[in-house]
Chains A and B, each alone.
Chain A
Amino acid sequence: MAVIAMREALNQALREEMTRDGNVFVMGEDIGVFEGSYKVTAGLLKEFGERRVVDTPIAEEAIIGTGIGAAMLGLRPVLEIMTINFILVAMDQVVNHAAKIRYMFGGEVGVPVTIRTPGGGGQQLTAQHSQSLEVFFAHVPGLRVVAPSTPKDAKGMLKAAIRDDNPVIFIENISLYNTRGEVPDEEYLIPLDKAEIKRPGRDITFIGHSKGTLLALEAADRLAQEGIEAEVLDLRSLRPLDCDAIVESVKRTHRAVLVEEGWPTYGITAEVSATLMEHAFDYLDAPVKRVGGIEVPMPYSKPLENAVIPSVERVLEAARSIL
């Protein structure tokens, strides 16, 4: 197994799917000559040409709207929105159209579009450039929403997303593009609806996604030094949520700390917490704890940003309060 960076894994997924299926094409701002603001589309223009690697004007609503149109005729557009923050000007296309077209057409026409976009903060990019908005999408029936945390998952899930017949919001994270991990040499897919235990443990379950999973893993390492074995469950998929995996883990550990980078109010952690209340109440030995971003727009100043973004320390603090 090769060890590669997240951006490389995503790049491989795009290249492999474009090679496999002539209907797959990529479209977005600065993705051709420039190879993407985060270099995920590196080399694709050279390999596949301008017909299938389309640099667009700065028009997110048109990028997603035309992607939807092309998808309805059976193409497989993979749209890059430079950061999740900029998708907000195109939410009508996502929520009112991509998510509903199949239903409104009585199942006759689908929208097999994949929208890749990175969220997350930590780079001093401030209020309108650092948000974790996955919950906006995870709220909407008709969308699939995934947010992988490792290069292996990212590659396998992006390939699966492109092959999926539904609109998939594929959420990357600006601070994870350089994280490295093992990726199988042979072709593989990872299902879009399954969480995965990233570290088994018996004393407490940490549940997260994207960067939240990495914080949880680090916190689990620290607790292990004290003889506490935390299990880390990586959600990977946010819609649908893998309720079985969540409940099954907590039934064994009886304690849960939920971690997300975004604001926890009405957040992913709120949904997981509700799932535990409904399906694992009798197994809980302590209240469920949540760790997320402090509920303010992201400030520019480094000390302020550090205070706002969830940290390993805050995960540990939450864990210790219920252990």
Chain B
Amino acid sequence: MVATRQPATRRRRSEEMVDTAGIPPETLLEIYETMCLSKAMDDRVWVLAHSGEIALAVSCHGHEALQVASIYALRRGYDWMVPYYRDSAAALAMGLTPRDMMLAFFARREDSFSGARQFPNHFSSRTLNILSGSSDIATQIPHGVGIALASKMRKEDRVTITYFGDGATSEGDFHEAMNFAAVLKIPVIFLCENNEYAISVPRRKQMAIDDISNKAVGYGMPGVSVDGRDVFAVYRAVQEAAARARRGEGPTLVVANTYRIDPHTSNDPDRFYRDPKEITEQRKHDPVLRFSAFLNQHGFLTEEQDAAIAARVAAQVDEATDYARSAPQPVPEDAALYLYGN
């Protein structure tokens, strides 16, 4: 994925001290591979939406670093993730597979999230601790606080991370949940993915402040603003927020700043409201390319390894697409399934 490569033979010199926030080399490669997988999934799903094979695609391109790093900073499989619709890279990092996702996109009976009922990109897994998302902006944030409240009541040291966009911070649910969590010292991390747009509305028309983390001040919790395209910056911020939450000191607002490279969804004519030149400029800061360059430069990733990752990722996406494409549809007689419990 990098344009200019170090020679494949170059290995990391042991004396070279690179600060990787304590992330071991194998994990760095895992993070990188997940970011590549997310990117490849987004590209594929986008094509499927435009060819009409699936109804809608939402891409997280530009968010890969912050999503994957934030999940790796937690205890995966133990902590809870309360996502919004743009969190596919985070969901992959939590352990969902391309096949799980493709079955949902193709609305197949076997879709493990909801049997083809839920909106595309609203991934969930009871076993992986991923809550099903909401189409209504910011409404998941109080749910995240509630899940964390339950952990606290049960005296578990689990934390919950809830994700949302910059636009979501305008909703009442965001503010009520923030205040609630701070007052009750709830072990939750509010992770704002600031991508500078809410559909067509640029951030400066969404709020009168520049640094979204200032919103934490009024509620009495720490607010930190980090470069959302920097794996390590996000990793450190979330790790610290998680430690704080586990110590019983309550919530943190982490704002990861990035840029939404793709349109809002596959149905969004973004030429209406942003200059293509702006996107071209932002592509230069693509977090996947940036991380790959870092890994390569510091000898964590050779050209062969990168090629192997690309091949694995492509094969996984192909396999998932083919599998889901030919899987059976749900049957109309089942439409009422899952409406009530016993």
Contact = CB atoms under 8 A, between A and B. Distances in A.
Interface of A: 29-30, 33-35, 37, 55, 57-61, 85-86, 88-89, 123-129, 294-297, 299-304, 306-308
Interface string B38-69: 00000000000000000110000000000000
Most buried by B among A33, A125, A299: A299
Interface of B: 55-56, 107, 114, 116-120, 134-139, 167-168, 170-173, 198-201, 205-207, 272-273, 329-332, 334-336, 339
A128 B136 contact: yes
Contacts of B339: 296-297
A307 B335 contact: yes
17 contacts: A29-B201, A33-B273, A34-B272, A35-B272, A58-B170, A58-B171, A60-B171, A89-B136, A125-B119, A129-B119, A296-B335, A300-B116, A300-B119, A303-B331, A304-B107, A304-B116, A308-B335
Nearest to B109: A301
A34 B202 CA distance: 11
Contact of A85 (B120, B136, B168, B172): B136
B117 A300 contact: yes
**A interface SS class:** loop
Nearest to B54: A124
A48 B329 CA distance: 49
Given A58-B170, A294-B335, A303 B329 contact: yes
Contacts of B56: 124
Nearest to B272: A34
A303 B139 CA distance: 28
A88 B332 contact: no
Contact of A57 (B116, B170, B200, B332): B170
Contacts of A129: 119, 135
Contact of B119 (A126, A302, A303): A126
Contacts of A300: 55, 107, 114, 116-120
A304 B332 contact: yes
Given A35-B272, A294-B336, A89 B201 contact: no
